[in-house]
Amino acid sequence: MARRRLKLVVMVIMMVNFFIFIIISRHSSQDKNGLNKIRTPSKPFWAKLVPKSAYCNRQQQILDLQNNPVLAANYSAPYVPDWLNDTGLSSYPCQPNFKVTTQVKEYNSLPVRFKDFLIFMHCRSYPIMVDQPDVCKEPPFLLLAVKSLAPHFDRRQAIRQSWGRAGLVANRTVVTVFLLGNATAGDHHPDLSGMLRYESVHHRDIIQWDYRDSFFNLTVKEVLFLEWIQTRCAGARFVFKGDDDVFVNTFRILDFLGGLSEPKARDLFVGDVITNAGPHRDKKVKYFIPESMYVGAYPPYAGGGGYLYSGDIATRLHNVSRQVALYPIDDVYTGMCLRKLGLAPEKHKGFRTFNIEEKYRSNPCAYKSLMLVHPRTPQEMIQIWAWLSNPDLKCQ
Ligand SMILES: *[C@@H]1O[C@H](CO)[C@@H](O)[C@H](O)[C@H]1NC(C)=O
Ligand SMILES: *[C@@H]1O[C@H](CO)[C@@H](O)[C@H](O)[C@H]1NC(C)=O
Ligand SMILES: *[C@@H]1O[C@H](CO)[C@@H](O)[C@H](O)[C@H]1NC(C)=O
Ligand SMILES: *[C@@H]1O[C@H](CO)[C@@H](O)[C@H](O)[C@H]1NC(C)=O
Ligand SMILES: *[C@@H]1O[C@H](CO)[C@@H](O)[C@H](O)[C@H]1NC(C)=O
Ligand SMILES: *[C@@H]1O[C@H](CO)[C@@H](O)[C@H](O)[C@H]1NC(C)=O
């Protein structure tokens, strides 16, 4: 019985081989007869270069072309199509680009913050007014960088007295800096420069650049900060960047970082990651972006309330940011830079940029395993920090 079955199997295999032989020999004889010759296309097989209609997409398209060694050669003078010609746009000292008024569809009907953004979108460099050149003389394990606004004195002080206390924390070196623009530039703000100067001399943790500190310019703050890290704090092992209205559990973060091994530590980028998002088209939303500015999905990005990354990633982000057109929403912009690097931010449950359930908010133990909670007032920051610093705090 078994032998007959074996014979049958062998027969079937031989038949299959025979058919394969026929197919292959037919195929090669066709080649010999010239029936299957390689066809050379008569026209170029790449699509004609068509400018994207949304302005930010188009600016990215231009940068992509300029950074592509094959295509860039083809689109240098004298073959520059008009929409690709950005000569006359020096990025420093930066002059307004009034060409956008005709290049952006329905420019005149846009809210003024979009006009302000577009006219200065090519500007990435502004003078530093207050610097702390020696703050990282001893490269810290963790650099805490807090986006703040000049009038937020109380938030900064609460951070210094709580989660942003610099020095040795849990046997790790921590350096804290506050990132500011110029909040007096033409927006009817009171002149706080004297108080800021006092604060900066007293605490030596203020970094300030001379550009208008507005929501859409937070991306400028990001780019300037990436540059600043390279010149002033390149040795930092890890960087936390976040807002001044969050509570950060520095103990938990240091514990988490201390437990990382390579290559995980080198490629670290964690936060409250948002995936499958895109521009809001509702004019009333703070994050509204018109179709004339951007179309398409957003890459995965970590909410700007706060995220954590390695010093190595900071270097790579700085490097790649030159190839990514500025976008008016800073956390999305950082997501775009990561995507360009071929990386994606990783979601961590400890980052709660949308707060925790109300019933847990006054429970000290609820904060023990978290890394970040948003939003918190200065008083709440100090209260929560006191809870977490208490050696008698017992949580299961
Ligand atoms: C390069 O430019 C020439 C002349 O404008 C054009 O014919 C050709 O298709 C271009 N090649 C690419 C790769 O775009
Ligand atoms: C690019 O634009 C500038 C003025 O904006 C003009 O002088 C120059 O000739 C243009 N270059 C090309 C190659 O068209
Ligand atoms: C503190 O850190 C230093 C250097 O990182 C290490 O040598 C020392 O053992 C640590 N001390 C404690 C108590 O962990
Ligand atoms: C900020 O901007 C205003 C107005 O443009 C300018 O007068 C001032 O010198 C700038 N710097 C500071 C530190 O306020
Ligand atoms: C960003 O800052 C620059 C320089 O101060 C300013 O000209 C521009 O209007 C600002 N953009 C926005 C959207 O506020
Ligand atoms: C920065 O980017 C350039 C190409 O734009 C690359 O050659 C270089 O290796 C990069 N450096 C780092 C540190 O990633």
Q: Which ligand is nearest to the CA of 216?
A: 5
Q: Which ligand is nearest to the CA of 330?
A: 5
Report which of 393, 391, 387, 361 is spatially closest to residue 249, judged by C-alpha positions: 387
Structure tokens at 228: 């600043």
Nearest-angstrom CA–CA distance, 165 and 297? 39
**Domain boundaries defined on the chain:** 55-87, 128-389
**Ligand 4 residue neighbourhood (C-beta within 6 Å):** 129, 182, 184-186, 193, 210
pLDDT at 26: 67
Ligand 4 atom with minimal separation from the 196 CA: 13
14: three-class secondary structure by DSSP: helix
Does residue 74 have its Cβ closer than 6 Å to ligand 1? Answer: yes
**pLDDT tens by residue, 41-78:** 777 777 778 899 999 999 999 999 889 888 887 777 66
Report which of 211, 192, 116 is spatially closest to residue 154, judged by C-alpha positions: 192
What is the residue with the minimal CA distance to atom 12 of ligand 6?
316
pTM for this entry: 0.87
- To test the pocket of ligand 4, the residue of 126, 149, 184 to mutate (highest count of ligand atoms within 8 Å of its CB) is 184
Candidate from 46-50, 154-158, 185-189 with smallest mean pLDDT: 185-189
Residue 263: how many CA atoms within 13 Å on its side-chain side? 2
CA of 76 to the centre of ligand 2 (A): 11
> What is the chain's mean pLDDT, rounded?
91
Whether domain 128-389 has CATH 3.30.505.10: the reply is no
What is the sign, positive or negative, of the torsion defined by CA atoms of 46, 51, 57, 62? positive
pLDDT at 90 over 80: no
**pLDDT tens by residue, 225-252:** 999 999 999 999 999 999 999 999 999 9
The arithmetic mean of pLDDT across residues 253-262, rounded, is 96
pLDDT at 174: 98
